[in-house]
Amino acid sequence: MTEPVKSKRITVTVDGTEYTRTVEARTLLVRFIREELDHTGTHFGCDTGHCGSCSVLVDGKVVKSCMMLAIQADQAQITTVQGLAFQDGSLDPIQQAFSDHHAVQCGFCTPGMLMATEYLLSQNPHPTEEEIRRGIKGNLCRCTGYVNIVRAIQALGAQEEVIS
């Protein structure tokens, strides 16, 4: 039996790069990503798990990184907004659709919104409007009234092949 610890050395892979760091047990994953790894693309906008701007994929599932401890992510594969674009720097289809449909205004909720979309389409490549809205319900946006975000995802859903 391993004894309880106040901090621990963990290894996580974030956007394809493996990191080994010592983290305090109390550190939230979002703070680990932003403050320890300096991956500031992942944002946070609340302290109760409502806004979704800290959303990342942990082992392929979208989660709010303010709603889990960094120490729980030991050995996990994490994808953040900074890992979405293609190697050559060009936008992935979801990012491109958000730009094409003016689904980005201030860009602050965008990282989380993209991760929720990525997950939604991985589960359901052709969602209905209702399914889209349920898919991004955990992501608050104050700029767009969600209209163009839903449109961007609808356009992606209308395509044959979405996730490359």
Residues 81-110 that bind another protein (CB under 8 A): 81-82, 84-85, 91, 95, 98-100, 102, 104-110
CB of 37 to another protein, least distance (A): 12
Report if residue 10 touches another protein, rule: CB under 8 A: no
For the CA atoms of the chain, what is the radius of gyration? 16
d(CA 149, CA 16): 27
Q: Which residue has the tokens 């900074």?
A: 82
Report if residue 12 touches another protein, rule: CB under 8 A: no
* Complex with another protein: residue 46 or 159, whichever CB lies closer: 46
Report if residue 64 touches another protein, rule: CB under 8 A: yes
Burial bucket for residue 6 (CB in 10 Å: 0-12, 13-18, 19+)? exposed
Site for another protein in 114-143 (CB under 8 A): 114, 116, 119-120, 129, 132-143
Burial bucket for residue 85 (CB in 10 Å: 0-12, 13-18, 19+)? middle
CB of 140 to another protein, least distance (A): 5
d(CA 61, CA 57): 5
* Complex with another protein: residue 102 or 159, whichever CB lies closer: 102
